[in-house]
Amino acid sequence: MMASSGLQIVGFLLSLVGVSATIAATFMVEWGKESQAKHRTYDGLWMSCSGTSERATCENYKYLLKLPIEVQVTRALILVSLFLSAVALIVSILGMKCTRFMDAMPQSKVKAAVCGGGLFILAGVLTIIVTSWYVSRMVEVNEKAHRLQNREFGHAVFVSWAGGFFTVLGGVILSLRRCWGFSGSSESISTNQLLSTAKSNYV
């Protein structure tokens, strides 16, 4: 029981680290970067910065529909992923064995835990997919760009990938431990029923 609860906490913390990394990546400005001579431009999901290595100015995006399609889609799906992660955090807390929520309904508690782990997996996979698609778009743009321009993806992409990976890993651990805990509880119930039946027959 203690080992199962400990692994649940580990899975929850891994997912929490993943969600935190995804949030950080969302607000990072280095999703895409373009260099031309000494001038550099960094494109994020919410703002862009341009200038030299010594001085740069940043500006928030004002018109959503004028943004590149990869920025619009990535920003939208990342927000969906974060919404799923928020729901997963709440549901997982309700279903974890170390909490007192839903103790009177053990089967519902297990189902809530499995649901929370599944939502973490879904959110992490969505983050990984949309980040990979963004990278593929950057590669296509770079191939079509002028030879003096060098457009590539930045550090935020790696942070987003890491966030998705840890979110999925934590969700898997949470789901597996919930399933095993459910099986164990079912087996213990069946054993108790057999013992009770044997005692009644003996009497």
Residue bearing the bigger pLDDT, 186 or 137: 137
Q: Is residue 139 in a domain?
A: yes
Q: How confident is the model at residue 186 (pLDDT cuts 50, 70, 90)?
A: very low
pLDDT of residue 24: 95
Q: Is residue 92 in a domain?
A: yes
pLDDT of residue 106: 66
* Lowest-confidence segment of 13-17, 89-93, 125-129 by average pLDDT: 89-93
Spatial contact of 28 and 156, defined as CB atoms under 8 Å apart: yes
Q: Is residue 103 in a domain?
A: yes
pLDDT digits (tens, 9 = 90+) for 96-109: 776 776 666 767 77
Q: Tell me the C-alpha to C-alpha distance, in Å, between residue 94 and each of 87, 105, 153.
A: 11, 11, 39
Q: Which residues pair with 107 in a beta bridge?
A: none
Q: Is residue 11 in a domain?
A: yes
pLDDT of residue 103: 63
In angstroms, the CA 174 to CA 120 distance is 9
Q: Is residue 106 in a domain?
A: yes
pLDDT digits (tens, 9 = 90+) for 130-184: 999 999 888 887 776 655 556 777 889 999 999 999 999 999 988 875 444 544 4
The answer for residues whose C-beta is within 8 angstroms of residue 163's C-beta and 6 or more apart is: 18, 19, 20, 21, 22, 23, 24, 25, 124, 127
pLDDT of 198 higher than 50 = no
Q: Is residue 141 in a domain?
A: yes
pLDDT of 193 higher than 60 = no
Residue 131's CATH number: 1.20.140.150
**Sheet of 47-51: strands edge to edge?**
56-60, 47-51, 39-43, 32-36, 150-153
Q: How many CA atoms lie within 13 A of 134 on its CB side?
A: 33
Q: What range defines the domain where residue 19 resides?
A: 5-30+68-178
Spatial contact of 116 and 67, defined as CB atoms under 8 Å apart: no
Q: Percent of the chain having pLDDT more than 70?
A: 75
Count of domains for the chain = 1
pLDDT of residue 63: 79
Q: Is residue 94 in a domain?
A: yes
